[in-house]
Amino acid sequence: MQLSPSLLLLALLNSVHAATVLAPAPEPTQFITLDIVNGPVAPDGFTRIGVLANGTFPGPPIVATKGQTLVVKVNNKLTDNTMRRSTTMNFDGVFIDSDNVFNEGSPFVTTCPFGPGESYTYTLPLGDQTGTFWYHSQLSVQYADGLRGTLIVYDPDDPLAHLYDVDDASTVLTVADWWHNTSTSGLAGYIATQIIPVSDSGLFNARGRYNSGPEVEYAAVSVVKGKRYRFRLINMSARANFVVSIDNHTMTIIEADGVATEPNEVNILTIYPGQRYSFVVTANKAVGNYWINAFINSGNAAHNLNLNSTLSRGILRYVGAQDEEPQTPMTAGPTGPDAVMLNEWELVPLDPIPAPEPDFNLTFNTFMPVDLTEWEINNSSYIPPTVPTLVKVLQGETQQSDFNKTENTFLFPANKTVQVEIIDATNEGHPFHLHGMNFWVVKANGTDIINTVNPIRRDVSITGNGNLTVRFRTDKPGPWFFHCHIFYHFVVGLGSVIGAGLDEVAKTVHPTEAWERLCPAYDALPPSEQ
């Protein structure tokens, strides 16, 4: 991890959080540059060439303060033809206003990717949002090659600040699946064998081990006895989920996907791809080393003998403890009656907003009727159009009949409430993610409770054979991606686009010339550079 000056400043400010200090007002605009390069990387001891922001995995952390506008210049310097050479970036969970929808980075929905030698600058006003976010390539499965990083928006007036003492760079935690081979070879293998490539390892804070691999030192998180830490856990997986616990310690959840919650104490939680949680851990046990169990759950695990879920873990190390691994067994965390699991439907926002009654209902049946390499919503596999949805809409194509069935594009008038019920009869567990805004989870999978009074709001929720029902508003005219965050499912069809108030788009969306140039430039690229 590199510490930028602003990060150091924040760390200093946050270390004196308990005392009331008047932080200097943040700069209204923060300029960030990310150079996307190919370079060697070895988080689990196996060296491969990755697609990396500034040459590191994860990329440099983006650290912002409430109210800032981020101006992120992304320079594509990719040279390796064995992986995708174009790119486009999504800042997961950051709300995007309608007039800025062209800056949200979804290929063939709101933008075209950009090729080697090109740059694009994303302007992202953060508004009132605070919390835990991340950025990643949104093109194909490219982020599995390493293009992922954290984005934290600190709140100088956090209403939950009294619950913790420390919230700085050291308390940002990531879990991620990791492959030794490229995502392009993984995708080709998937199409050929119908088996989604199983990762070689699971990483905690960008370190991990695989069977017969080197004993890479596990990432240790340092705590001082007596203090309370706000950990911010981000699941940067492309496919796997993680079951996270800390031996002998509880975790009090206070945030889900950028939404502050009432404190909810658990000792084990599952985090699905794309999701984020903040939880408070009090360092109140004997000074020592404790396992952070980050058990990686991957379907078809037997297809990659490198993967060993037990080896995916970190260490909670008290200051004063030996620089060594815990002597206790490596487990998958509490089980049976000892396990206090996080149940999504028990999370209550600190600032509850009742879910409005739906004006429209939509049902998604998720299927793989042909074979495992074609996921469908109601028997229609999403195929990206060659002309991005937003480009078409700006050209006046705003009727349902303007969209091919394979675009899975569902149109609604502006300023309405849409309810989507997602049926996942085979209990695959798809983490559905909405771009640009949050949804209300009115019925989480795993419960019969329908909560329209104070449901959790977030941008990723998991489906299952218990059915998931969410609601959202169409207040922001524009096309918004709504897709499974398991990118191997997404690239083979498990995606849709919510066309909100498309008639209004021409009035509210005025893209820049830089954006206008992206599609002609991309279309002119040879396939090897796309």
Ligand X SMILES: *[C@@H]1O[C@H](CO)[C@@H](O)[C@H](O)[C@H]1NC(C)=O
Q: Which does 39 bind (CB under 5 to 8 A by kind): ligand X, Cu ion, none?
A: none
**Residue choice 89, 109, 112, 244 for contact with ligand X (CB under 6 A):** 244
**Under rule CB under 5 A, residue 471 binds Cu ion:** no
**Residue choice 100, 129, 289, 445 for contact with ligand X (CB under 6 A):** 445
Cα distances (angstroms) measured from residue 480 to each of 117, 177, 440, 502 = 28, 26, 16, 11
Q: Please give the Cα distance from 498 to 505 (Å, whole number).
A: 13
In this structure, which amino acid lies at residue 246? I
CB under 5 A: which stretch of 91-99, 234-242, 322-330, 477-485 binds Cu ion?
A: 477-485
Residue whose CB is less far from ligand X, 17 or 367: 367
**Under rule CB under 5 A, residue 460 binds Cu ion:** no
# of chain residues touching ligand X (CB under 6 A)? 65
# of chain residues touching Cu ion (CB under 5 A)? 4
Q: Which does 37 bind (CB under 5 to 8 A by kind): ligand X, Cu ion, none?
A: none
**Under rule CB under 6 A, residue 466 binds ligand X:** yes
**Under rule CB under 6 A, residue 419 binds ligand X:** yes
Q: Please give the Cα distance from 528 to 530 (Å, whole number).
A: 6
Residue 214: cis peptide before it, omega within 30 degrees of 0: no
**Residue 246 token pair:** 């800390």
Q: Please give the Cα distance from 174 to 156 (Å, whole number).
A: 23
Q: Please give the Cα distance from 381 to 526 (Å, whole number).
A: 26
Residue whose CB is less far from ligand X, 103 or 201: 201
**Residue choice 175, 368, 486, 505 for contact with Cu ion (CB under 5 A):** 486
Characterize the bridge pairing of strands 89-92 and 62-65. unpaired
**Residue 284 token pair:** 């109140």
Residue whose CB is less far from Cu ion, 169 or 460: 460
CB under 6 A: which stretch of 13-21, 162-170, 250-258, 410-418 binds ligand X?
A: 410-418
- Look at residue 156 and give its three-state secondary structure: coil
CB 186 to ligand X: min, Å? 8
Nearest CA-CA partner of 140 in 273, 274, 238, 36: 238
The alpha carbon of residue 320 and the mean position of all alpha carbons in its chain are separated, in whole angstroms, by 35
Q: Please give the Cα distance from 378 to 421 (Å, whole number).
A: 12
Q: Please give the Cα distance from 480 to 490 (Å, whole number).
A: 15
In this structure, which amino acid lies at residue 34? L
CB 290 to Cu ion: min, Å? 33
**Under rule CB under 6 A, residue 239 binds ligand X:** yes
Residue whose CB is less far from ligand X, 362 or 521: 362
Residue whose CB is less far from ligand X, 67 or 466: 466
**Residue choice 271, 347, 441, 470 for contact with ligand X (CB under 6 A):** 271
Sole residue written with tokens 């950051």: 94
The secondary structure of 378-402, three-state, reads CCECCCCCCCCHHHHHHCCCCCHHH
**Under rule CB under 6 A, residue 405 binds ligand X:** yes
**Residue 76 token pair:** 């594509």
Site string for Cu ion, 410-439 (x = CB under 5 A): --------------------x---------
Characterize the bridge pairing of strands 417-423 and 360-367. parallel
Q: Which does 508 bind (CB under 5 to 8 A by kind): Cu ion, ligand X, none?
A: none
Residue whose CB is less far from ligand X, 191 or 383: 383
Site for ligand X in 130-189 (CB under 6 A): 175, 180-181, 185
Q: What is the full DSSP assignment across 282-331? A: E--S-SSEEEEEEEEE-TTGGG-TT--GGG-EEEEEETTS-SS--SS---
What is the number of the residue whose Cβ is closest to ligand X? 241
DSSP state of 143: G
Residues whose CB is less than 8 angstroms from the CB of residue 206 and which lie 6 or more positions away in sequence, other chains included? 43, 57, 58, 174, 176, 219
**Under rule CB under 6 A, residue 272 binds ligand X:** yes
CB under 6 A: which stretch of 93-101, 140-148, 223-231, 352-360 binds ligand X?
A: 352-360
**Under rule CB under 6 A, residue 206 binds ligand X:** no
CB under 6 A: which stretch of 13-21, 223-231, 375-383, 387-395 binds ligand X?
A: 375-383
- Look at residue 521 and give its three-state secondary structure: helix
Q: Which helix (H) or strand (E) holds 484?
A: strand 478-484
Residue whose CB is less far from ligand X, 445 or 451: 445
**Under rule CB under 6 A, residue 119 binds ligand X:** no
Cβ pair 216, 208 in contact under 8 A:
yes
Q: Which does 15 bind (CB under 5 to 8 A by kind): Cu ion, ligand X, none?
A: none
CB under 6 A: which stretch of 109-117, 362-370, 391-399, 515-523 binds ligand X?
A: 362-370
Cβ pair 92, 134 in contact under 8 A:
yes
**Under rule CB under 6 A, residue 358 binds ligand X:** yes
Q: Which does 452 bind (CB under 5 to 8 A by kind): Cu ion, ligand X, none?
A: none
CB 474 to Cu ion: min, Å? 24
Cα distances (angstroms) measured from residue 418 to each of 355, 421, 499 = 10, 10, 11
Sign of the C-alpha dihedral computed for residues 38, 235, 237 and 246 taken in this order: positive
Site for ligand X in 44-83 (CB under 6 A): 54, 60
Q: Please give the Cα distance from 450 to 290 (Å, whole number).
A: 38
**Residue 347 token pair:** 């999370």
CB 248 to ligand X: min, Å? 4
Q: Which does 484 bind (CB under 5 to 8 A by kind): ligand X, Cu ion, none?
A: Cu ion
Query: Site residues (CB under 5 A) for Cu ion?
Result: 430, 484, 486, 489
Query: Site residues (CB under 6 A) for ligand X?
Result: 4, 32-35, 54, 60, 175, 180-181, 185, 211, 235, 237, 239-242, 244, 248, 270-273, 285-286, 297, 308, 310-311, 330, 358-363, 365, 367, 369, 378-379, 383, 404-406, 410, 414-415, 419, 423, 427, 429, 431, 445-446, 462, 464-467, 485-486, 501, 504
